[in-house]
Amino acid sequence: MPSIKVNHLVKSFAEKNAVNDINFELGEHEFLVLVGPSGCGKTTTLRMLAGLEPATSGDIFFGEKRVNEIRPKERNVAMVFQDYAVFPHMTVYENIAYGLRSRRAASSLIKERVPKAAKTFRIDHLLQRKPRQLSGGERQRVALSRAMVRDADLYLYDEPLANLDAQLRYQAREDIMALHKEKQSPSVYVTHDQSEAMAMGDRIAVMRNGRIEQIGTGAELYERPNSLFVAYFIGTPSINLFEADVAAENDSLFVRTPAFSLQLPEARKSALQPYAGRKIKVGIRPEDLHVPRMAQFQVTEHNQLQGAVNVIEPSSTGCAVYMSTLESTPQDFVATLRTRMPASYIGKEVPLAVNMDKMHFFDLETERSILAN
Ligand SMILES: Nc1ncnc2c1ncn2[C@@H]1O[C@H](COP(=O)(O)OP(=O)(O)O)[C@@H](O)[C@H]1O
Ligand SMILES: [Mg+2]
């Protein structure tokens, strides 16, 4: 049974729909991440779940119960806000204890829980300080501790790590995941950072203009994006996109640009056949470009393209090679290789093999994936 269910949720401010018909279910132990660019409606969605913002229309269910009219305090939701919202006049200890006290928890429980939560987020040595005596990172961990100290039915996080530097962010991410493992309560976590979403979410909902574009596991979104937007939003470096002609020749289909001609695999022919003679957008993930002799598939003249090497950026697993296509108006693209490329290749032209089974295809007008139905 889903623990949380959201049906046709809408929120309008004046004439604008900040949230425009959102639907999702959240499993009993699930950690769902809402990800999308600034202004797409993430915070508004969370605030409606918490009860801080009334929905314009639609339903929110916690279990069997419709909670639209239930006040925030009775929803038993713990929320971590982007701007921390810690109380400046209270000590760290009192800040963390606040949620428990306001729910009249027994003092023995407070004494037990507060130091434990503080320890989890490594601020147990700061319990007597006031927020102004803390760094931004420490203040954020006070806000996290305050939310986690309670046994809430739902945990909501609004970009809680956005203001931390990289090192602290990774650490806090681990802490949140560890706590989620322990509590197992349903959680909705908001971020604009797709790599954070990929690292944390059991499932991820990609939002755009108040709607959910696609919801699925990280692997599903990465391997089977249903739109150009999702394909481009998920994955670093971003997917390479080319406008191409679909050409039928004898019994084969090709995607062609001035720079390359690639033959489509049998399994893709029926989906692409209706586009013969038309233009589409093709997407090739940087990791689906390979040094020909290292490719795990048979390399022919019909699954290779050429590029000029501009920049080589070493990584822990190999390197990212920033290249340009060979045509009168060259187009930039990037390949991530599982091998090092010597700097002597800079400025040279190299062939790369394309894993055609992993190629993505998008309708130019609708921007929907041609493979998704
Ligand atoms: N209280 C409000 N009054 C008017 N417009 C708002 C209000 N809150 C949010 N919005 C608008 O709704 C849209 C979504 O905002 P928000 O949910 O904060 O986006 P996100 O958290 O994804 O950045 C934005 O265009 C924002 O300007
Ligand atoms: Mg926001």
Q: How far is the CA of 169 from the centre of ligand 2 (A)?
A: 18
Residue 322 in any domain: the answer is yes
Predicted local distance difference test score (pLDDT) of residue 309 = 98
Instruction: Select from 179, 210, 233 the last residue of a domain.
Output: 233
- Ligand 1 pocket (Cβ < 6 Å) reads 13, 18, 36, 38-44
Cα distance between residue 234 and residue 35, in whole Å? 10
Nearest CA to ligand 1 atom 10: 18
Tell me the C-alpha distance between 160 and 136, whole Å.
11
Number of folded domains in the chain?
A: 2
How close is the Cα of 46 to the center of ligand 2, in Å? 9
Cβ atoms of 276 and 253 within 8 Å: the answer is: yes
Same domain, 190 and 245: no
* Nearest ligand 1 atom, CA 37: 22
Same domain, 78 and 150: yes
Q: Are residues 249 and 308 in the same domain?
A: yes
187 with 286, same domain: the answer is no
Residue 195 sits in the same domain as residue 249 = no
Q: Which amino acid is at 157?
A: Y
The reply to whether 314 and 246 lie within a common domain is yes
Q: Is residue 60 part of a domain?
A: yes
Distance CA 14, CA 152 (A): 33
Per-residue pLDDT 10s for the chain (373 aa) are: 568 999 999 999 988 899 999 999 999 999 999 999 999 999 999 999 999 999 999 999 999 999 999 999 899 999 998 877 899 999 999 999 998 998 899 999 999 999 999 998 889 999 999 999 998 888 989 999 998 898 899 999 999 988 788 888 888 898 899 889 988 999 999 999 999 999 999 999 999 999 999 999 999 999 999 999 999 999 999 999 999 999 999 999 999 999 999 999 999 999 999 999 999 999 999 999 999 999 999 999 999 999 999 999 999 999 999 999 999 999 999 999 999 999 999 999 999 999 999 999 999 999 999 998 6
Determine the distance separating the centroid of ligand 2 and the alpha carbon of 158, expressed in angstroms.
Answer: 7
pTM of the complete model: 0.92
Residue 52 alpha carbon to ligand 2 centre in Å: 14
Q: Among the three residues 233, 253, 270, which one is the final residue of a domain in this structure? A: 233
Euclidean distance between the first and the last CA atom of the chain, given in angstroms as a whole number: 27
370 part of a folded domain: no
CA distance 156 to 52: 12
Strands 349-354 and 289-290: antiparallel
Residue to mutate (ligand 1; options 40, 44, 79, 209; most atoms within 8 A of CB): 44
Give me the pLDDT at residue 373, please. 64
Q: Say which CATH number the domain at 83 has.
A: 3.40.50.300
* Residue 212 and residue 289 share a domain: no
Do residues 256 and 307 share a domain? Answer: yes
* 373 lies in some domain: no
DSSP 217-270: -HHHHHHS-SBHHHHHHSSSSPPEEEEEEEEEETTEEEEE-SS-EEEPPHHHHH
Q: What count of other Cβ atoms lies within 10 Å of the Cβ of residue 133?
A: 12
Residues 139 and 156 both lie in one domain: yes
Pocket test for ligand 1, best of 9, 11, 12, 13 (most atoms within 8 A of CB): 13
Q: Are residues 58 and 182 in the same domain?
A: yes
Q: How far is the CA of 45 from the centre of ligand 1 (A)?
A: 10
Parallel/antiparallel/unpaired status of strands 16-26 and 4-13 = antiparallel
- Answer whether residue 248 is part of any domain: yes
**Do 244 and 218 belong together in one domain?**
no
Look at residue 26 and tell me if it is in a domain: yes
**35 and 60 fall within a common domain:** yes
The answer as to whether 129 is a domain residue is yes
Domain of residue 59: give its range: 4-233
Q: Where a domain ends, among 233, 253, 280?
A: 233
372 domain-assigned: no
